[in-house]
């Protein structure tokens, strides 16, 4: 079941050391949202990051893979995300991206 989320470019610091604001939020549709870390994510070794949600996108949305880093608004909160290529483990040839929504360090 698909779920409507929002994506934005994360706030940060420019080359001169000045703070930059987060980009505007835009809607994005996820193929699925899974609480916590999936088996796919557990195999990636994220150095102690705690995972709030694993979010699947099929096909890969340009708003999430262009530029970055990004934040996703999932079920009431903004989360920093790491994006990885994903291929179906069932041999269907389906591919997309998986976004790992991070809570912080464990």
38-73 residue pLDDT tens:
776 666 655 556 888 999 998 888 888 777 789 999
- Given this model, what pLDDT does residue 72 score? 94
Q: What is the pLDDT of residues 67-101, one digit of tens each?
A: 778 999 999 999 999 888 888 778 888 888 889 89
Three-state SS sequence of the chain: CCEEEEEEECCEECCCCCEECCCCCEEEEECEEEECCCHHHHCCCCCCEEEEEEEEECCCCHHHHCCCCEEEEECCEEEEEEEEEEECCCCCCCEEEEEEEEEEEC
pLDDT at 106: 46
């Amino acid at each position: 079941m698909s779920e409507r989320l929002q994506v934005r470019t994360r706030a940060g610091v420019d080359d001169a050391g000045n703070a930059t604001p987060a980009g505007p939020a835009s809607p994005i549709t996820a193929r699925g949202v899974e609480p916590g870390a999936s088996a796919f994510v557990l195999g990636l070794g994220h150095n102690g990051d705690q995972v709030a949600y694993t979010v699947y996108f099929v096909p890969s949305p340009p708003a999430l893979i262009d530029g970055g880093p990004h934040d996703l608004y999932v079920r009431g909160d903004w989360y920093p995300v790491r994006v990885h290529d994903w291929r179906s483990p069932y041999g269907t040839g389906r591919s997309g991206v998986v976004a790992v929504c991070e809570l912080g360090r464990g």
